[in-house]
Amino acid sequence: MTSAADTLSGKSHRDENFPVASWLMSARNRGPILAFYRFARAADDVADHATLPPARKLALLDDLGAALTGEGPSDPQAEPLRHALRERGLSVRHALELLDAFRLDVRQNRYADWDELIGYCRLSAMPVGRFVLDVHGESEATWPASDALCAALQVINHLQDCGADYRDLGRIYLPQDVLAAHGATADMLAAPRAAPPLHGALGELARRASELVGQSRSLVPQIRDLRLSLEIGAIHNLARHLAGELERRDPLSEPVHLGKAGFALVGGAGVLQGLLAQLGRTIAARAGRRP
């Protein structure tokens, strides 16, 4: 395979577990975010390709990075994001950090403990949130709460897909020390139903994801852009709901996902919460301006 385009899976932002640049965002800001997503999707497809040898995957990821920075030949998977970054005066930093996450996927398939997993999330998830905030001109003061939410989303995805990650890619993102503490083993991930030790480990990790969601509660009130705050409100509520479901349910025997109706209901409740948070912010700001 000569380029990243040869590895594309055909997945789009509509196939993700959480909203990506939904209609809640303005058209002006959706463009750069979708360009970022498509770049990330191309890199992810390279890292997850079933037959490419690791050395070739790493070379293709390097090619994507060089195309994005202008240090190598143009690539159709990188050019839209390169154009968007130049047009909006945005940093390439977040996209390059994301490439490091996919390089890690090629080189590493086990994580020793929670801290090591969060280290992966710092590359694979947190840069996504930071890029979205940058596109909307939000302050870096929003980054800590955004980082917590993005890490929660990543852990939730790992829990939802733990069986497929193991069967199809040989990867286990679940921290090894948590599995060992519950008496769970890798082969349990290949079973049609989670054995009690694995179910206990998954429940513990879901509780940790819930804690991360809780740490991100302050994000929506910090956001100045109304439409972005509503999008984040929906995502936050979806994450809170799914983390709670994963504490109780078994992702090996039943997909822990929301259907269209549930997605709309839970996400819509988050949008309403975002509206209320913005209303409270506006009232507080006006009260502060009174003589």
Mean pLDDT over 166-187 rounds to 97
pLDDT band at 277 (very low <50, low <70, confident <90, very high): low
CA 276 – CA 291 distance, rounded (Å): 25
What's the CA gap between 87 and 226, in Å, rounded?
Answer: 23
Look at residue 144 and tell me whether its pLDDT is greater than 60: yes
With bands split at pLDDT 50, 70 and 90, how would you rate the model's confidence at 135?
very high
Mean pLDDT of 219-247: 89
User: For 99-113, 153-167, 204-218, 232-246, which range has the lowest pLDDT when averaged over its residues?
Assistant: 232-246
**Pairwise CA distance, residues 188 & 194, whole Å:** 7
Could you tell me the pLDDT band of residue 47, with boundaries at 50, 70 and 90? very high
As a whole number of angstroms, the distance between CA 36 and CA 31 comes to 9
In angstroms, the CA 61 to CA 263 distance is 34
User: Does the pLDDT value for residue 280 go beyond 60?
Assistant: no
In this structure, of 80-89, 104-113, 202-211, 255-264, the range with the lowest mean pLDDT score is 255-264
- For residue 76, the one-letter residue type is P
> Is the predicted pLDDT of residue 170 greater than 90, yes or no?
yes
pLDDT at 156 over 90: yes
CB atoms within 10 A of CB 222: 19
Identify the pLDDT of residue 269: 45
What is the reported pLDDT for 128?
94
In the predicted model, is pLDDT for residue 36 greater than 80?
yes
Buried b (16+ CB within 10 A) or exposed e, 92-118: eebbebbbbbbbbbbeeeebeeeeebb
pLDDT above 90 for 214: yes
Q: Which of 13-27, 110-124, 197-211, 225-239 has the lowest mean pLDDT?
A: 13-27
Q: Is 60 exceeded by the pLDDT of residue 189?
A: yes
What percent of the chain has pLDDT above 90? 67
- Per the prediction, the chain carries an average pLDDT of 86
Q: Nearest 5°: CA angle at 254, between 248 and 256?
A: 60
Spatial separation of the C-alpha atoms in residues 133 and 127, rounded to whole Å: 10
pLDDT on residue 151: 97
What fold does the segment set 110-282 form as a domain?
A: Farnesyl Diphosphate Synthase (1.10.600)
pLDDT at 227: 85
Q: Strand, helix or coil at 86?
A: helix
Placement of tokens 């997850």 in the chain: 48
Average pLDDT over residues 107-120: 97
Query: Which one has a higher pLDDT value, 261 or 137?
Result: 137
Whether residue 258 is predicted with pLDDT greater than 90 in this model: the reply is: no
The pLDDT value given to residue 50: 86
Name residues whose C-beta falls within 8 Å of residue 77's C-beta, 6 or more positions apart in sequence.
Answer: 3, 4, 5, 8, 38, 39, 42, 43, 64, 67
Sequence spans of domains, the chain: 1-107, 110-282
Looking at residue 39, what is its pLDDT?
95
Token look-up 């040989």 returns: 170
In this prediction, residue 109 carries a pLDDT of 95
Pairs from 138-142 (Cβ < 8 Å, separation ≥ 24): 138/222, 138/223, 138/224, 138/225, 138/228, 139/222, 141/222, 142/219, 142/222, 142/223
Q: What is the pLDDT of residue 229?
A: 87
